[in-house]
Amino acid sequence: MRYFLLILALTVVTIMGVAGKRGSLSRQPPIEIFPDMDRQPKLRPQEPNAFFADGKSSREHPAGTVAHAAPLMVNGQAVYPHEDAPVNTGKITGTTNFVETNPFPVTETLMARGQQRYQINCLPCHGPQADGNGITKKLGMGVVANLQEKRFVTMTDGEVFHTISNGKNLMGSYAANVTVPDRWAIVAYLRALQLSKLATLNDVPAEMQSKLKK
């Protein structure tokens, strides 16, 4: 009996010693104890796959093509992603001139969306006031445009949209991360940020002016 107890105790200690506690760090992938159908031979996004020459399971669009997608509704009109329309390009149809104003009606929902998207995508560099003092400025981003400068305040909405879509100089393209309607929402919000710095007392409704004077 003594030997039996000793062997049992030793086995328990060895198993606990080798296996450790729950939640301890492990560099090895989890063991799948009954692997039935856990991993099926189907394609999952962003996983390596030897079938394709470049080894990517997530396929990219062939160059120069646009996905056949549901149309955007702009002022009650359907616009498809492949169309040469101001919403898609930021340019007046058939020309290389940028459109002056936002093709979407500027509503409170658009503004709220723009604020949220600005804070996700632009804030790290351009900062909460769009003055180019984002957190990364202190940590090595040398050049960040101050969007409160006159050049950007007078810039057309279309050109700002074009910058978000295609990038410019040191700023990369945000086309993959920000959808077309969200880009226009950001443009609308950016305009509000610029106005907030430029506004004078006379821009404030009369009944609110007395409050601000104090």
Partner 1 sequence: MSDIFPKWTNWLPLKIAVGAVLVGTAATAGSWYYLTPKYSNVGYQPVQPVAFSHAIHAGQLGMDCRYCHSAVEKSWYSNIPTASTCMNCHNQVLKDDPKLALVRESAATGKPIPWVQIHKVPDYVYFNHSVHVNRGVSCVECHGRIDKMDEVRQVEPLSMTFCLDCHRHPEKHLRPPDKITDLGWQVDPKTQKQNGEKFKHDWKVQSSQNCSACHR
Residue 29 contact, options partner 1, ligand HEC, none, Cβ 5-8 Å cut-off depending on partner type: partner 1
Exactly one of 98, 104, 174, 184 binds ligand HEC (CB under 6 A); which one? 174
Q: Which is nearer to ligand HEC, 82 or 168 (CB)?
A: 168
d(C-alpha 132, C-alpha 126), whole Å? 4
Radius of gyration of the chain (CA): 28
Q: CA angle, corner 139, sides to 137 and 145, nearest 5? A: 20
**Bridge partners of residue 78, in order along the sequence:** 73
Backbone φ and ψ of 190, nearest 5°: -60, -40
Residue 163 contact, options partner 1, ligand HEC, none, Cβ 5-8 Å cut-off depending on partner type: ligand HEC
Structure letter (DSSP) for residue 73? E
Q: Which residues make up the interface to partner 1 (CB under 8 A)?
A: 1, 4-5, 8, 11-12, 15, 19, 22-33, 37-40, 42, 44-48, 54-56, 116, 119-121, 124-125, 135-136, 139-143, 170-173, 176-178
Measure Cα distances from 21 to 12, 27, 28 in Å.
Answer: 13, 15, 15
Rounded to the nearest whole angstrom, what is the least distance from the CB of residue 88 to ligand HEC in the complex?
Answer: 17
d(C-alpha 71, C-alpha 89), whole Å? 15
Window 181 to 200, contacts with ligand HEC (CB under 6 A):
186, 190
Decide if 184 contacts 99 (C-beta within 8 A): no
Exactly one of 85, 99, 110, 122 binds ligand HEC (CB under 6 A); which one? 122
Asked if 120 interacts with ligand HEC (CB under 6 A), we say: no
The pair of three-digit structure tokens given for residue 78, joined into one six-digit string = 């359907």
Window 137 to 166, contacts with ligand HEC (CB under 6 A):
139-140, 143-145, 147, 152, 160, 163-164
Residue 164 contact, options ligand HEC, partner 1, none, Cβ 5-8 Å cut-off depending on partner type: ligand HEC
Residue 202 contact, options ligand HEC, partner 1, none, Cβ 5-8 Å cut-off depending on partner type: none
To the nearest 10°, report the CA torsion of 194, 197, 200, 203. 40
Decide if 103 contacts 86 (C-beta within 8 A): yes
Residue 130 contact, options partner 1, ligand HEC, none, Cβ 5-8 Å cut-off depending on partner type: none
Q: Which chain residues interact with ligand HEC by CB under 6 A?
A: 34, 121-122, 124-126, 136, 139-140, 143-145, 147, 152, 160, 163-164, 168-171, 174, 178, 186, 190
